[in-house]
Amino acid sequence: MPGGRRLEPSKPLPRLAVFILIVAFIDFAVDWLLTFTIDRWARQSPTANHWYQYRMGGRTYYLSPSIGWYLDNDLWIYLGAIAMFFVLSLVYGVRWKRVR
């Protein structure tokens, strides 16, 4: 495989960093699932409990405030978790090296 180099940690990753990485991937999966199935479960007219407007694909969906906030901010949650993983790895002294 051309460019077949990969990165390996210099020592085992701390459990907290691994946990945060798992949370980041779970966040990505939940976001993907909610985004691609939104037309099946979201309301297209507001109600007393579903007043948060979320626009996607030329349509407006009305969601509960917590789910609407999550869908609006999920990218930042994911990127923050990935950044936190690398910061924790750096703090714990894990260095990444290329191996063949």
The answer as to whether 84 is a domain residue is yes
pLDDT at 96: 84
Give 84-90's long-range contacts (Cβ < 8 A, gap of 24+).
Answer: 84/20, 85/17, 85/20, 85/21, 85/24, 88/14, 88/16, 88/17, 88/20, 89/9, 89/13, 89/14, 89/17
The answer as to whether 49 is a domain residue is yes
pLDDT tens profile 42-85: 999 999 999 999 998 899 999 999 999 999 999 999 999 999 99
pTM here is 0.81
The answer as to whether 99 is a domain residue is no
The answer as to whether 3 is a domain residue is no
Q: How many domains does the chain have?
A: 1
Q: Which domain holds residue 66?
A: 14-93
